[in-house]
Amino acid sequence: MGLDDLVSKAKGALGGHEEQAKDALDKAAGAVKARTGDGTDAKVDDVVEKAKEYLDEQKR
């Protein structure tokens, strides 16, 4: 199983569940922020925002 297969499976699993995935990203970000210093908060927020944008792009 190659990377393309994994990407295809992930896209299939997320189909129609983008909002749930975004909620999970927010919860994961909160957990990371709770365990790291304040200096990483902005980076975590950037990564989560990019992941959400990617999910939105995949809906089109």
pLDDT tens column, 39-49: 999 999 999 99
Over residues 5-31, the mean pLDDT reads 84
- Range 6-20 burial, b when 16+ CB lie within 10 A, else e: eeeeeeeeeeeeeee
DSSP state for residue 12 in the 8-state scheme: H
Q: What is the CA radius of gyration of the chain?
A: 13
Predicted confidence (pLDDT) at residue 56 exceeds the cutoff of 90: no
Q: What is the pLDDT of residue 58?
A: 78
Q: What is the pLDDT of residue 12?
A: 72
Predicted confidence (pLDDT) at residue 53 exceeds the cutoff of 80: yes
